[in-house]
Amino acid sequence: EVDPAFIQDPQHRPKLSIIQAQGIPIIDLSPITNHTVSDPSSIEVLVKEIGSACKEWGFFQVINHGVPLTLRQNIEKASRLFFAQSLEKKKKVSRDEMSPSGYYDTEHTKNVRDWKEVFDFQVKDPTLIPVTADENDDRVTHWTNQLPQYPPHFRVIIQEYIQEMEKLCFKLLELIALSLGLEAKRFEEFFIEDQTSFIRLNHYPPCPYPHLALGVGHHKDPGALTILAQDEVAGLEVRREGDQEWIRVKPTPDAYIINIGDAIQVWSNDAYESVNHRVVVNSEKERFSIPFFFFPAHDTEVKPLDELINEQNPSKFRPYKWGKFLVHRLGSNFKKQNEANIQIYHYKIA
């Protein structure tokens, strides 16, 4: 029996034939990670590559990124061990509306249930966050992490990996800033003292009706950057500019998939766009992925940067407080709602 909560509207159901196309660009980060190569001209070339990838796709993969492979293998193994436990064990660290980090298997994207189970872990423990999405409510609360008993050393494994993700995010933000003609460290202030970033372990079990359901429904990531580790089972699809086709991202061993989120779109005043993506499931193989969501501090005011607006190119967005946006968004993850959830186009200046 097909559970109707998972069924996508007909226009969102995936075609199971895969489009073989020139995929998202693969970018070699050795000019910034290998100190014997770092001459200024190779960095300039790299900045140009990043700029074009952000403009044309909003997505790219990186190799020679400097993240030790063992740390990735450790977290991938821990993720498999965690999800292989009984539902009862996993539910001991269930997240809820009050403490949204932990285990969850009923997330909704665009009000349809996703065919997946997740475990979320905040980078900052505690993470400061507004109590409500109401702009007039100044109260701040905090989220704390839940730690499963199993597998052993879970905290250390996650924390070692998170440190590397943060380092890579700061490097990528520098390259993105340079590609927009900004000072390299222009974005740092939004993250350096505080942030709301988190890491997610995703498990997509085999699905008996992959033509009707999705692992994650189409969406754009709301923050600054996402660094995704996907395993060898493909499923991530990116909406291509122009013809709007869904393009499958072919797994590249030890590469990371990077995509820019809504906050960069707003900061860049639409120079770069946050791109729609989704996850297709299949009836035979389970799939694991690990996104790291790089999110600014809750009190960050997100608005087009002064350097990027002028009379010819006025600001395209009204400012919004990141934490309020996030809390508003979160409400819609927990239940099917009648209204569509908040998106950055709601802040667009017509």
Ligand X SMILES: O=C(O)CCC(=O)C(=O)O
Interface residues toward ligand X, by CB under 6 A: 200, 202, 216, 221, 228, 230, 236, 277, 279, 289, 291
Report, in Å, the least distance between residue 237 CB and ligand X.
9
Q: Which C-beta is closer to ligand X: that of 105 or that of 221?
A: 221
279 binds, options Fe ion, ligand X, none, Cβ within 5 to 8 A by partner type: ligand X
Report, in Å, the least distance between residue 161 CB and ligand X.
16
Q: Which C-beta is closer to Fe ion: that of 154 or that of 325?
A: 325
Quick note: the x/- pattern for Fe ion over 198-237, rule CB under 5 A, is -----------------------x----------------
289 binds, options ligand X, Fe ion, none, Cβ within 5 to 8 A by partner type: ligand X
Query: Own/partner pairs for 247-253, CB < 8 Å, 24+ apart?
Result: 247/19, 247/21, 247/23, 247/24, 248/18, 248/19, 248/23, 248/280, 249/23, 249/24, 249/59, 249/61, 250/23, 252/26, 252/61, 252/63
Q: Which C-beta is closer to ligand X: that of 228 or that of 297?
A: 228
Two tokens, residue 190: 């939004």
Residue appearing with tokens 């069924």: 7
228 binds, options ligand X, Fe ion, none, Cβ within 5 to 8 A by partner type: ligand X
Name the helix (H) or strand (E) containing 322: helix 322-334
Q: Give the residue at shortest CB distance from ligand X.
A: 289
Q: Can you tell me the distance from the alpha carbon of 27 to that of 227, in angstroms, rounded to the nearest whole number?
A: 14
Q: How do 287-294 and 301-302 pair as beta strands?
A: unpaired
Report, in Å, the least distance between residue 291 CB and ligand X.
5
201 binds, options ligand X, Fe ion, none, Cβ within 5 to 8 A by partner type: none
Report, in Å, the least distance between residue 234 CB and Fe ion.
15
195 binds, options Fe ion, ligand X, none, Cβ within 5 to 8 A by partner type: none
Report, in Å, the least distance between residue 219 CB and Fe ion.
6
Q: Which C-beta is closer to ligand X: that of 120 or that of 164?
A: 120
Q: Can you tell me the distance from the alpha carbon of 119 to that of 308, in angstroms, rounded to the nearest whole number?
A: 37
Report, in Å, the least distance between residue 277 CB and Fe ion.
6
Q: Hey, which residues does 314 pair with through a beta bridge? A: none
Q: Which C-beta is closer to ligand X: that of 148 or that of 251?
A: 251
Report, in Å, the least distance between residue 343 CB and ligand X.
14
Q: In angstroms, what CA-CA distances link 274 with 97, 184, 215, 294, 320? A: 27, 21, 20, 14, 17
Q: How do 320-321 and 301-302 pair as beta strands?
A: antiparallel
227 binds, options ligand X, Fe ion, none, Cβ within 5 to 8 A by partner type: none
Report, in Å, the least distance between residue 219 CB and ligand X.
7
Q: In angstroms, what CA-CA distances link 210 with 216, 223, 279, 290? A: 12, 28, 10, 21
> What is the DSSP track for 122-188?
ESSSSEEEESSS-TT---EEEE-----S-STTHHHHHHHHHHHHHHHHHHHHHHHHHHTTS-TTTTG
Contact 333, 111 (CB under 8 A): no
Q: DSSP class of residue 286?
A: -
Report, in Å, the least distance between residue 349 CB and ligand X.
27
Q: Which C-beta is closer to Fe ion: that of 107 or that of 148?
A: 107
* DSSP three-state, residue 205: coil
Site for Fe ion in 17-56 (CB under 5 A): none
Q: Which C-beta is closer to ligand X: that of 54 or that of 279?
A: 279
Q: Can you tell me the distance from the alpha carbon of 204 to that of 214, in angstroms, rounded to the nearest whole number?
A: 10
Q: Which C-beta is closer to ligand X: that of 196 or that of 269?
A: 196
230 binds, options Fe ion, ligand X, none, Cβ within 5 to 8 A by partner type: ligand X
Q: Which C-beta is closer to Fe ion: that of 233 or that of 305?
A: 233
* Main-chain phi, psi angles of 70, to 5 degrees: -60, -35
Q: Give the residue at shortest CB distance from Fe ion.
A: 221
Contact 124, 194 (CB under 8 A): yes
Q: Which residues bind Fe ion (CB under 5 A)?
A: 221
